[in-house]
Structure 1
Amino acid sequence: SYLNEQNYQTTAIHPYNTSMYKRQNVYQSLGFQNFINEDTMKNTEKMESNPYISDKAAYQEVLDTLEASKGSNFIHLVTMQNHMPYGSKYVSSEYEVSGTENDQITSNYLKDLSYSDQALDNFIKQIDQLAEPTIVVFWGDHLPSVYGDVIFNQNSLDKMHETPLLIYSNVNKKDKELGMISPIYFAPELLEVANADITGFYALLNQLQSNLPAFEKEMYLEKNAEKMKKSVNELSQETQALLADYYMIQYDITTGKKYSLQTNLFAHNK
């Protein structure tokens, strides 16, 4: 919605069918103008016996979408190459694994990651060749289930919830260590890289991030804390107040009477 207001072309791409999570309807409700799926993609190549469209093909779909548009774009891509099941994707793998519930399956997953690394590296190189200022935000939504209970128990709960995150700009080359953050903060981080104005809501998120960089239910990483906290009540009073404001806005928008819309909390200040 933020970029729709600024005349961006907004596109969601998901190289799979539209039945999962009712994506056809959900992306429209989220405000995306276009939705590209496995039936409408031009790039549908797969790696070896992997049944899913490859990351390489998905990235090419992004590049083709950018090339076909004359204006500014916001593209949200959810890839499928590294989704389970892993066992039958590749005939052989050069990666040796031990200590998991199924080492062969995990080895196949590592080959998935290798293909993904190559595709991402090539994608970034092509982004660097674009004339337009372009920002890439890359992250994983969750770890796979291949590691098993033994590996899980050898690691902390927060470690088993961590995934990679990269924000890359072909113009702004300034390095910044993001640390552990939650996905709700990606938008304000992106706008900082773009040196763009923020809304009142994003200003609230910046405040919340300065106190609570990462959290989900029963897992709260407060700034300068030595370990995760399991309850909101364990947080400082200031952090609890900011979190309560965030939750209240969520309630107002999804279930309440949408008072926050009347205050222009989400409006772009030109």
Structure 2
Amino acid sequence: MKIGSNPYLSDETAYQNTLDVINSYKNGQFINLVTMQNHLPYSDYYDNSEDYQISGDMDDGEKNTISNYSAGLSYTDKAVQKFIEQIDKINKPITLVFYGDHLPGIYSNIDGNSLEIRETDYFIYSNKYARQHGAKNLEHVKYVSPIDFIALTAEQTNSKVSPYYALLTEIQKELPTIKVYAYNNGKNPVFVDKKGRTVKYKQLTKKQKQLYNDLKLVQYDLTAGNQYLYRTSFFKIN
């Protein structure tokens, strides 16, 4: 199903497809769902875009783009609420991690390579059945990077972890949030502390630098190295 003249499948349809997969499989699953409803371009897709009036120092074209994007978000809000209500009725533990990869590049006053463009909302939600069987509601962590979702989800679901997940958990708790610019070939990473302040690598403590270097060694071994870690119990839960 599509909404208005939007060429992409709606979020509601994406979530319904996800429910079909969840209900057709009895064992544990990991589902990575990427939705497209609110992807560029932002044209006059929706009948309700006029409900979102934009003010500020910008031209009419930018205002129109932002109002159309906002209209798409309104449909997303309703679809997410419906999806949560549906997974709460399923009698098996389900934990949802919801986040965006970046804000849309439609704001003329925001640099496309800035940290600000990477600040999107996220939440982690465990359904009713999961909460009845050990999942808990964690205190919200304001600044995270995608790598932190693994550790936060394991903690929220009260799961046993492997040494690898234990490393990710320590990194999430001890290191500032990591941001590596792809266009810079991974060099000169930027870190963001718990107050939203930018921190450079040289400002990290000795322990933090060790953790970051450990993470880089693990990533190298798994992607470009000899994969020595697969020959150990590093990924096994004891």
How far apart are the structure 1 equivalents of 2:171 and 2:25? 36
Matching of residue 47 in structure 1 with residue 17 in structure 2: no
* Runs of 4+ with >4 A deviation: none
Counterpart code for 2:19: L
Q: Secondary structure at the match of 1:73?
A: coil
Residue aligning to 1:228: 198
Counterpart code for 1:207: E
Counterpart code for 2:65: I
Name which of 55, 71, 74 aligns with 1:98: 55
TM-score (norm 2): 0.85
Matching of residue 243 in structure 1 with residue 212 in structure 2: yes
Residue aligning to 2:232: 263
CA-CA distance at 1:261 after TM superposition:
1.7
Matching of residue 133 in structure 1 with residue 93 in structure 2: yes
How far apart are the structure 2 equivalents of 1:222 and 1:259? 32
Contact 1:138 1:165 in 2 (8 A): yes
Question: 5+ residue gaps in structure 2?
Answer: 181-188
Name which of 12, 21, 26 aligns with 1:65: 21
How far apart are the structure 1 equivalents of 2:204 and 2:27? 45
How far apart are the structure 1 equivalents of 2:142 and 2:193? 12
How far apart are the structure 1 equivalents of 2:71 and 2:44? 12
Contact 1:188 1:198 in 2 (8 A): no
Contact 1:137 1:166 in 2 (8 A): yes
How far apart are the structure 2 equivalents of 1:147 and 1:268? 45
C-alpha offsets along residues 25-50 of structure 1, whole Å, 9 cap, x if unaligned? xxxxxxxxxxxxxxxxxxxx001111
Q: Where do residues 111-130 of structure 1 align in structure 2 (5 Å cutoff)?
A: 111-130=71-90
Contact 1:211 1:222 in 2 (8 A): no
C-alpha offsets along residues 114-164 of structure 1, whole Å, 9 cap, x if unaligned? 00000000000111111112111111111101111x2x27xxx43332111
TM-score (norm 1): 0.76
How far apart are the structure 2 equivalents of 1:198 and 1:65? 26
C-alpha offsets along residues 31-76 of structure 1, whole Å, 9 cap, x if unaligned? xxxxxxxxxxxxxx00111100000000000111111122232211
Q: Where do residues 164-243 of structure 1 align in structure 2 (5 Å cutoff)?
A: 164-170=121-127, 171=131, 172=135, 174-217=137-180, 218-222=189-193, 227-229=197-199, 231-243=200-212
How far apart are the structure 2 equivalents of 1:268 and 1:88? 51
CA-CA distance at 1:222 after TM superposition:
3.7
Q: 1:77 to 1:241 in 2, by over 3 A?
A: same
How far apart are the structure 1 equivalents of 2:161 and 2:9? 35
Count of aligned pairs between the two proteins: 219
Q: Secondary structure at the match of 1:138?
A: strand
CA-CA distance at 1:107 after TM superposition:
0.3
Counterpart code for 1:88: D
Task: Tell me how large the CA RMSD over aligned residues is.
Answer: 1.9
How far apart are the structure 2 equivalents of 1:211 and 1:70? 37
Q: 1:181 to 1:232 in 2, by over 3 A?
A: same
How far apart are the structure 2 equivalents of 1:254 and 1:187? 18
Question: 5+ residue gaps in structure 1?
Answer: 1-44
Counterpart code for 2:31: I
C-alpha offsets along residues 235-264 of structure 1, whole Å, 9 cap, x if unaligned? 222111110010011111111111222222
Q: 1:265 to 1:160 in 2, by over 3 A?
A: same
C-alpha offsets along residues 67-91 of structure 1, whole Å, 9 cap, x if unaligned? 1122232211110000000023225
